[in-house]
Amino acid sequence: MQIFLQELEALAPLSVDDRLAILQLPMRLRRLDAGAYIVREGDVPKHCVILIDGFAIRQKLTGQGARQILALCIPGDAIDFQNMFLDISDHAVQMLTRSIVAEVPREAFQEIVMTRPAIGAAVIHSTLIESSILREWVVNVGRRNARARIAHILCEFAVRLEARGLASGEGFELPMTQEQLADATSLTPIHVNRVLKTLQAEGLISRQRRRIEFDDWRALQEVADFNRRYLHVTSEDEVVAAAL
């Protein structure tokens, strides 16, 4: 829960009471296997789930069974703000890896958000950032070629992980198969494989197993048409600057 609290505090200053209220929220920790669903499309959710450890994706299926991945959830993300006010889930959330989540009863969460303005503000702030990431996702899928799409998703993931202290600038462990990467970028797994290979051949990245190393971070961002603004993360530099 610590990581979630940190995340919220980065978005709005919380009082000691606010912090306590969050830590005292009734909750149940659960361990989930890779592939497990937290919510399915059409569910009537009873909990607000926070991802403590591990990775998950948001996804929707078309009528023809094609899958589109909509977002990656990383530790500290609240998976379920939607479900606080929307009665029926419009998309599914599935674990990518074995994970630990905290389940908070929907009403308890709703209560704390409505009665504590600072927490309410942090939650709104957080959902707005999520929307911003989703907008960039549309641009990625809609208007960039395969090379840029893959490069972009790698950049995004790396920066988000780093902002939470979950990766260094050198590289990171990508918790997805190439098929999942394909469903995130609206490509076929075959094409994903080819693009990854060319990115590697061009010396932009190297791969061992699922691990991605950035051999030329600047060039990769260029290829990706990546600009971190939409993530609304305060970069390390800015954090340091603000502390002075």
Partner DNA sequence: CGTACGTTTGATCTTTCTCAATAATGGTGG
Partner DNA sequence: CCACCATTATTGAGAAAGATCAAACGTACG
Residues that bind DNA (CB under 7 A): 145-147, 177-179, 186-191, 193-194, 196-197, 207, 209-210
Q: Which does 137 bind (CB under 5 to 8 A by kind): its own copies, DNA, none?
A: its own copies
Sheet arrangement for strand 99-105: 28-32, 99-105, 47-53
**Residue 58 binds to its own copies (criterion: CB under 8 A):** yes
Residue number, 66 or 240, with CB nearest to its own copies:
66
In whole angstroms, give the CA distance from residue 29 to residue 54. Answer: 13
124, with CB counted inside 10 A (0-12, 13-18, 19+), is middle
Q: Which does 164 bind (CB under 5 to 8 A by kind): its own copies, DNA, none?
A: none
Q: Are strands 99-105 and 67-73 parallel, antiparallel or unpaired?
A: unpaired
**Residue 235 binds to its own copies (criterion: CB under 8 A):** no
Kindly tell me the sign of the dihedral angle through the C-alpha atoms of 231, 169, 78, 123: negative
Q: Which does 189 bind (CB under 5 to 8 A by kind): its own copies, DNA, none?
A: DNA
Judged by CB under 8 A, which stretch of 31-39, 97-105, 156-164, 222-230 contacts its own copies? 222-230
The strand ranges marked E within the chain are 28-32, 37-39, 47-53, 56-61, 67-73, 92-95, 99-105, 171-173, 205-208, 211-214
Residue number, 93 or 196, with CB nearest to DNA:
196
In whole angstroms, give the CA distance from residue 78 to residue 72. Answer: 11
**Residue 205 binds to its own copies (criterion: CB under 8 A):** no
Residues 175-194 that bind its own copies (CB under 8 A): 186
Cα 240 from chain centroid (whole Å):
24
Length of the chain: 244
Residue number, 143 or 211, with CB nearest to its own copies:
143
**Residue 208 binds to its own copies (criterion: CB under 8 A):** no
Which residues are paired to 49 by β-bridges?
A: 103
Residues making contact with its own copies (CB under 8 A): 42, 58, 60, 62-64, 66-68, 70, 81-82, 84-86, 88, 90-91, 113-115, 117, 120-121, 123-125, 127-132, 134-139, 141-144, 186, 225, 227, 229-230, 232
